């Protein structure tokens, strides 16, 4: 398995990671037995980078990942996140909490669920607009000093916030959505990562499964699949986005690979400091995703892909309004409290 370095602090991971969110929630068809088999299969195939969060489940995903992977702890890099708060009385509601006193509380709770004594990469899931990023990262840095956390990360922040955070403590990785239909990080964030020596971890590099070509109709999504609430999966947006998938499928056939492999190969081609974490709970899709590492894109391939998937090609917002408001603009100045 090819490896890549995240940041300048010495963290090395497999070139492709595994996003574990869907094993516990959001995507229909929870199957713990298959999820456990997929986690172990990922280890067997050379994946060392696993991503979870306290908000997934909520909590159940950390418990699942910890239970399965703990016996193999020395072989892997475990990333989890905090700061996105769920309301137990309203599963659809989301809040954020980056207060310093909450940082330690959240970390201790994650360590207990994971059954581990240290978290390799600890992300702030979403920025708390009521708490200066300096205060949140300062509290996270205390976790590093205490030996509870090895490296720090941020998720869905703009370049200004990233710079302010790095002034407090080295940030090893920034995680944001990035794919052929979500290219927002190219508008300042990727440049800031490279200026500051921060690795970049794209989540949803397959457009929440849309870019695989497996979803043909809105009705293909189960009633409890959260993608039914995503603007890009609805109405006219769905039909317009299918056109992009058709173009990806055509290019994939020319490369003799699957659409998922082509889409992942493009993300992997963005730089040696880029480590995508496609999510899956099934071994067959994991194997297909790993095939992307064998797809070599030529300069002409990249031109052809750029022609069919330029920035802004996707129809619809990335998230429903309630979640979109929790992400920072990539170019606007931070609106956090100073």
Catalytic residues: 56
- What is the C-alpha R_g of the chain? 19
CB-based contacts of 65, cutoff 8 Å, min separation 6: 20, 23, 39, 50, 52, 78, 114
Phi, psi of 167 (to 5 degrees): -70, -20
DSSP line for 273-323: TB----B-SSHHHHHHHHGGGGPPPPHHHHHHHHHHS-TT-S-S-SS-HHH
Measured CA to CA, the distance from residue 232 to residue 190 in angstroms comes to: 24
Strand order across the beta sheet in which 173-177 lies: 18-19, 49-51, 77-82, 119-124, 149-155, 173-177, 199-203
Measured CA to CA, the distance from residue 247 to residue 245 in angstroms comes to: 5
DSSP line for 212-276: GT---SGGGS-TT-GGGGSGGGSHHHHHHHHHHHHHHHHHHHHHTS-HHHHHHHHHHTT-TTB--
CB atoms inside a 10 Å sphere around CB 253: 12
């Amino acid at each position: 398995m090819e490896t890549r370095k995240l940041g300048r602090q010495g963290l090395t991971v497999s070139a492709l990671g595994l996003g574990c969110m869907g094993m516990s929630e959001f995507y229909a068809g929870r199957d713990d037995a298959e999820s456990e088999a997929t986690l172990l299969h990922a280890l067997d195939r050379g994946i060392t980078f696993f991503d979870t969060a306290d908000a997934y489940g909520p909590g159940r995903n950390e418990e699942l990942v910890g239970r399965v992977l703990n016996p193999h702890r020395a072989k892997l890099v475990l990333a989890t996140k905090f700061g996105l708060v769920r309301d137990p009385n309203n599963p659809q509601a989301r809040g954020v909490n980056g207060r310093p006193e909450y940082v330690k509380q959240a970390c201790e709770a994650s360590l207990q669920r994971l059954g581990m004594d240290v978290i390799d990469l600890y992300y702030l899931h979403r920025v708390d607009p009521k708490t200066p990023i300096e205060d949140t990262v300062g509290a996270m840095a205390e976790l590093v000093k205490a030996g509870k956390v090895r490296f720090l990360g941020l998720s869905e922040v703009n370049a200004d916030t990233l710079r302010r955070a790095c002034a407090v403590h080295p940030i090893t990785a920034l995680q944001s959505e990035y794919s052929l239909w979500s290219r927002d990080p190219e508008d300042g964030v990727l440049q800031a990562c490279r200026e500051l020596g921060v690795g970049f971890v794209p989540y949803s590099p397959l457009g929440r499964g849309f870019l695989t070509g497996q979803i043909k109709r809105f009705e293909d999504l189960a009633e409890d699949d959260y993608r039914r609430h995503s603007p890009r999966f609805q109405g006219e947006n769905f039909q317009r986005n299918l056109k992009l998938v058709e173009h990806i499928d055509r290019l994939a056939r020319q490369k003799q690979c699957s659409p998922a492999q082509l889409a992942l190969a493009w993300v992997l081609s963005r730089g040696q400091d880029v480590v995508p974490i496609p999510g899956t709970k099934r071994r067959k899709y994991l194997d297909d995703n790993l095939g992307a590492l064998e797809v070599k894109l030529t300069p002409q391939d990249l031109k052809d892909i750029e022609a069919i998937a330029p920035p802004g090609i996707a129809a619809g917002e990335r998230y429903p309004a309630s979640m979109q408001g929790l992400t920072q603009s990539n170019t606007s100045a931070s609106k956090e409290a100073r």
